[in-house]
Amino acid sequence: MPTTVKVGDYTYEHVEGWGDFPRGGVVSDVATDSQDRVYACVRLKQGPDGNEGEIWVFDRHGKLLDRWGADFLEVPHGLFIDSDDFLYHADAGDHTVRKFTADGKPLMVLGTAGEKGPPDMPFHSPTNPTIATSGDLYVSDGYEQNRCHCFSATGELKFSLGSGDPVYYEQAVTGTTTGVAGVGPGEFNLPHGIVTDDSGKVYVIDRENNRVQVFNAMGEYITEWNDVPGGNDGVIDENGVMHIATGPGAIILKSLDGQTVGTWGERGEAAGQFDGYPHGIWLDSNGDVYVAQVGAQLALDKFARV
């Protein structure tokens, strides 16, 4: 029997056994292109003995088509694919954001591989990229500093925003912190995801503050949603509804005025539950949902829209 999920006007069936995975790994994010090919960011190895990562490419049925990036990926984190099928990837391990063709040809590198930028500047373990309708590239730069950056389509830095000490990183590395978390408007405590809408508004998923902050295209604060616990990543569908993957295991659906449409999902080992912590989310052209989860091996689930 298929596992069915229903929330509001959305109904999905969990696709059991999706994915012809070539080996073990942790899937941190997922995105699809115009042909509904599925691109997964995979951490093959992460720790004191070194980091390794790859991009795995599948057809919509889960057949493995390609794999690339092992020669330069460190800690795959966030992925975005634009309408021209260019890939943008934030590598939290080597402090870069890279642009690729669909077959992995590098086109642009922002940041210096293996080196952090100056304070407040790109990058200090970036988390996610996104492309606005203007063509500008926005990046959340969240693990080792609480900043977001806006670049032109050709990679020139236009402006940065955000403040707050990197208390999440300090706590994770040292077990203690002397800093002060940013909790006010325009401040962050781990900006983990970043999304833009058709009007140019920018939505920053401020994870440790359990909120989404909304800015205009120039980075000026507008408002915030204070009911998104542990948000990691988001994607907006054709109806103007944002689907947000949260670490606790829920997928939260929000209209762009901040109203909650509904929630679904839970952590667990049963069919249709999340083995890991939902960390990346994407919708393909059919409205099918892909959810990538960290904290578990090969936790990439597909839910087909019905």
The span from the first CA to the last CA of the chain, in angstroms, equals 15
- In this structure, what token pair is assigned to residue 58? 């599948």
Do residues 43 and 1 lie in contact, with contact meaning Cβ atoms separated by under 8 Å? Answer: no
| Closest to 212 in 3D by CA, of 223, 201, 197 | 223
The SS3 assignment for 18 reads coil
CA distance 151 to 147: 13
- Domain containing residue 137: CATH number: 2.120.10.30
Pairing of strands 147-151, 52-58: unpaired
Q: What is the maximal distance between C-alpha atoms in the chain?
A: 54
Q: What pLDDT is recorded for position 1?
A: 55
Domain that holds residue 189: 4-305
CA distance 280 to 287: 16
| Closest to 129 in 3D by CA, of 207, 59, 67, 202 | 202
The number of domains in the chain is 1
Buried b / exposed e over 108-133, threshold 16 CB at 10 Å, is eebbeeeebbeeeebbbbbbbbbbbe
Listed as ranges, residues in the chain with pLDDT below 50 are: none
The SS3 assignment for 172 reads helix
pTM higher than 0.95, yes or no? yes
